[in-house]
Structure 1
């Protein structure tokens, strides 16, 4: 498996689904079943978890599911290029019974494609992140799990550079990367630029600089979010500066995932990756496979503190939804609920459980025990922000605009960062006006 389980959360995609046809047939809600014995049908679950499908892990979960729902047959369809392939399939009625909501589907379009799951207020009593998939008083998806933002790093590399504590400011972080460059042979920060989707991880730091739960909502009315001193300016300036200071790989256009990021951080050839907590287990597995100590893989918070503490934004991963065209909506809903309520997926993969009463995996408990505060961004104005983002054609959760920042930093694109920020502000302001 390559990517985050987007968020993704919002995740990388070069194309828009604005042209998707939506649902003309089907319809109806996907109510939670009350009697498992009465639920039946064959359902297809589209998944980006190609690794878990290949090694039989998903089938084991299905076997556990069948102990409660014996009359439901679950078939998994693993898709490598999940975002792009599912986006194309959503032009038809055939996109499975259960699917992960592609990151490029605007929230206002959810009713065209997905069956409503119920009252958001009621679901929010039980689950995290429900407001992220809510539109016009209905919830359309339940996150498979959550992620905490931060950076995966190789502890041995940082120690070799003489760094003994987490950086507490953006300037300290740059200085630490410079120390890694001068005192070790490792690449201080690996962008994974060529893969595209990893560049979207930078967006998930919004809110960490300020510990402001309204950081995303504020974008709905801020006509200049890239102005000096504001968070998007700070995040993107850091990206530009580490590239400009040559603290990243020599040629970002040749970066790779398995043969680059994973193997590099596992063997100490890379010091740091801007990836959320979903990546921890993968990097530890890569270290073990390479004959290295998995304990060398660490996770640090975004390098900024407010009132003496770090803030880590917790975000939903892909949300599972029920296709509006499904002929077995009750069976599909049974799978969605069971996966977050009963399966051990979050604990097995060291992820933040969507179920509020779910056990926190050891990796994140240790993170929290170190004084990092988990905060969830308000999504009250997310539909507006999503609409403005589409109208502006910036793509906050797509790789293009931050790849442009990397290109500016390495001298592969004409112009200055200030000019680019001014252009982004102009587009965003026009998007606010256009979106009403």
Structure 2
């Protein structure tokens, strides 16, 4: 009789401890914490309250192909990031079948253990945590609405350490743990999305500020200059000074062309930022487009006594959007002239390079410093440099060139030395007929 009472008292005490643990665990799991912190806390409570000193929690990837160690406790190596393939080893089988598994006297099954529980996924540098002299193990799937959330694996050096009662109690905990971990995963995913969105908004806000800066400052100067020229035209017209009117006509054309180019860049860039830039990729003959761009800049080059040479493959065709390609070519030639001293030279060369068409812009101008080269494609840096004739820009040109090239599958390379000049190399996808023709010649 006394023995029965003693046994009953032990059962009641164990039940009391378990209920007390469930209460404290519920409070702990309800706390807002990062996923890693929550997982570590779960393993710590299992250790302190039930002497489960060697444990780990593994979470499946989105495709449910692998499980990865997100938290471990009591092992020599934490093994964070170690992977187990679904269906392989004790843990993988438990995850795939969604059923618990308890093993005892593992030393007698050492060969099976090595295949079932010992090593991380091939191709990874991180080994799965584990006791070298493990004797018993229990692995329990943590499920929420029959969806696998995680696997809890516990090991011990003692024979038959895990009783059926221990296993049953861990199963009781499993759903509570699963829901808490699932909520933590969702919260972490939401926080990640918020961080990404915040970074995106910061970037867009900086771009907006830069856009307003360009509109408010960089466009004001040429617009004011054009207004001044218009006033001078009116003045010389009243005076009947025809020679001055002729000279002002040339200046008016250059000023209007500069404003038009700036506005064109602003429009294309703003469209690319909002995703509204529609590109029509089609076969384009490069050489005629370059001839048009050179003709467009003849007046600008003539005003600085700069020669422009165009040579190379006249029948080269690329796959690109016509408007985007013209914007790219205009910006690069304009920059070459802008940063070349009066009396200098700019050369443009068209060649094939494997399955690409290479367009090379070379000038003997002032070059680009190494410091400036690092921020050449960075919109959020201060304004662009002035040209050799104090020409102003928006700082958008090279940024826009790179963005448009990336959208059309092209590449850009810039080589420069101070006081020696700059070479800009474009590589654009060649038209298939051109590729076949080049291959036939080889």
**TM-score normalised according to structure 2 size:** 0.20
- Relative contact order (C-alpha < 8 Å, sep 6+): which is higher? 1
Name whichever structure is richer in strand by fraction. Answer: 2
